[in-house]
Amino acid sequence: MSSAATEAWRMTHFGSPANTGSGADLGDPDRDGIVNLLEFATGSNPRSSSPPVGAPVKNGNTVEFTYSRPKAALAEVTYHPEGSLILSGAWSSLSSPAPS
């Protein structure tokens, strides 16, 4: 992915707008298991180990999953949350989050 917001984000964190090396979309220079594209999409710091993206929380009979979506990423990233009732089952789309 390459656009104005992602290039600016790479400049801020890696000193270059290029989608290569440490700043590549699938790079994980802080080795926290979260690739740069997901760090950008959820607003975490790609140069410092971050906790997992969101955490499911039981609320009555539902499970809520909350994650951050920075405004800069909303213009460039399409979010498609998916879920499964069993770990070995097929994943299916969940309701899309409301824009914010």
Chain residues in the site for Ca ion (CB under 5 A): 28, 30, 32, 34
| Residue 96: Cβ-neighbour burial (10 angstroms; 0-12, 13-18, 19+) | exposed
- Nearest approach, Cβ of 32 to Ca ion (angstroms)? 4
CB 45, min distance to Ca ion, A: 8
Rounded CA gap, 3 and 45, in Å? 19
Q: Which of 53, 23, 48 is nearest to 38 (CA)?
A: 53
Q: CB-wise, 34 or 77, nearer to Ca ion? A: 34
Q: Smallest distance from the beta carbon of 27 to Ca ion, in angstroms?
A: 8
Residue (6 or 30) nearer to Ca ion, CB: 30
Residue 15 or 83: which CB sits closer to Ca ion? 15
In angstroms, rounded to a whole number, what is the distance separating the alpha carbons of residues 51 and 15? 24
